[in-house]
Amino acid sequence: MSAVIEKFIKYVKFDTESDTETGLTPSTPGQMILAQELTRELEEMGLENVSLDENGYIMAVLPSNIERKVPTVGFVSHMDTSPDFSGKHVKPQFWEDYDGGDIVLNKDQDIIMKVADFPELKKYKGQTIITTDGTTLLGADDKAGVAEIMTAVEYLIEHPEIKHGPVHIGFTPDEEIGKGADFFNVKKFGADFAYTIDGGEVGELEYENFNAAFAKISFKGRNVHPGMAKDKMINSMFIANEFLTRLPKDEVPEKTEGYQGFYHLIAMSGSVENSELQYIVRDFDMKNYEMRKQFLQNLCDKFCQKYGEGNVSLEITDQYFNMREKIEPVKYIVDIAEEAMKQVGVEPMIIPIRGGTDGSRLSYMGLPCPNIFAGGHNFHGRFEYVPVESMEKSVEVILKIVELIAKR
């Protein structure tokens, strides 16, 4: 088993599912447990300035081994896994020399990953695929990235003949709940630019992402005894249902792609007296993004006119913005990554991220930070998988980036 796979299998055994409700950083104790293990490993490797702060942020430095001054490059990944699906008791399975057909993840529970549902599986015929047993997510988002960075740094230490400038490492908590950069100390990190290793399939290279907001719409009703309810009861759940039907039915994740934005209903709860809808709002174009937020506000205003002032209210919060604005002035860092991929035999796919990474917020905090593939597919669910060969290529790309920067 290659070094990157050994590390990956080790890391996915840590339960690091983040949690939006705790209000803590890190939001769950398992993240700190993994952070302590990674800190120990970095210290054993011999990196300098290894630190783990009270919020679960890890930073470390691999010093330059060349005389002249070259830019300081950083690599960043997150340790948490999505709260959308269980990341506890992960049981990885290896499918060597994959035959290109359906994969029975769990015979007892009849959980099958079908090529008809996930046709990109065919790309990996003949390779080795790591999956779950169908009862948890895998954690390739983003423990694949963590393992790839750790493996690349270890390789550089073991092969001093590879010339490189200073390489700075950062691991963050709570990216999956939009808080991965909340306490990231860019000045302390000290890199001129960085790359998040947090993308999907092999070859992905991204420097555009959604503008993103979280919206909570609250509805008030009035409850009376149902036998005496005529002309008195106001059922807040009916108002909420009416509201959600007024949003564009085709502007949802399952019907959009590329640069198309959406409204995504992520949670709903209700009783006669009080109901709530939670949405995430996404768009690449800032003008369209602002229009989407205004559409929700206008709709709430109309419902207040119909059902009474204060009976429908909106709370909306910006989460992150499109990093393209901050990357384009230093576009050469994307060019370096693209060239690195080509030199190790990977066809670059420069595409927009239909989501966000720590890199989007870090770019606005003064650390330009495009995103590079970690190799996984079907994140946040039971059908998540990662090809071994993709992870190994990610390590090669990291190493090649370091080499190219040293030659600048």
Domain boundaries, the chain: 3-209+322-406, 211-320
User: Is the model's pLDDT at 179 over the cut of 80?
Assistant: yes
- Tell me the pTM: 0.88
Task: Decide if 384 contacts 93 (C-beta within 8 A).
Answer: no
Question: Phi, psi at residue 243, to the nearest 5°?
Answer: -60, -50
pLDDT tens-place string over residues 242-284: 999 999 999 999 999 999 999 999 999 999 999 999 999 999 9
Per the DSSP assignment, residues forming a β-bridge with 318 are 213
User: Is the model's pLDDT at 408 over the cut of 90?
Assistant: no
Judged by average pLDDT, the poorest of 8-12, 149-153, 357-361, 369-373 is 357-361
Mean per-residue pLDDT, 212-219:
96
Report the pLDDT value the prediction gives residue 322, as an integer from 0 to 100. Answer: 95
Q: Which amino acid would we find at residue 60? A: A
Q: Which fold has domain 3-209+322-406?
A: Aminopeptidase (3.40.630)
For residue 1, what pLDDT band results from cuts at 50, 70 and 90?
confident
Q: What dotted CATH number matches 211-320? A: 3.30.70.360
How many CB atoms lie under 10 A from the CB of residue 404? 17
Q: Which residue has the tokens 């506000």?
A: 297
Cα dist from 184 to 35, 180, 190, 200, whole Å: 14, 8, 11, 23
Which distant-in-sequence residues (6+ apart) come within 8 Å of 51 by Cβ? 39, 58, 59, 60
Cα 332 versus chain centre, distance: 24
How many CB atoms lie under 10 A from the CB of residue 242? 13
What positions carry a catalytic annotation? 80, 175
Q: What is the average pLDDT value for the chain, to the nearest integer?
A: 96
Cα dist from 137 to 26, 109, 116, 225, 405, whole Å: 20, 15, 20, 45, 36
pLDDT tens-place string over residues 283-327: 999 999 999 999 999 999 999 999 999 899 999 999 889 999 999
For residue 353, what pLDDT band results from cuts at 50, 70 and 90?
confident
CA dihedral sign of residues 21, 24, 29, 34: positive
User: Is the model's pLDDT at 103 over the cut of 80?
Assistant: yes
| Cis check: omega of the bond before 26, within 30 degrees of 0 | yes
Distance of alpha carbon 226 from alpha carbon 292, whole angstroms: 38
How much of the chain exceeds pLDDT 90, in percent? 95
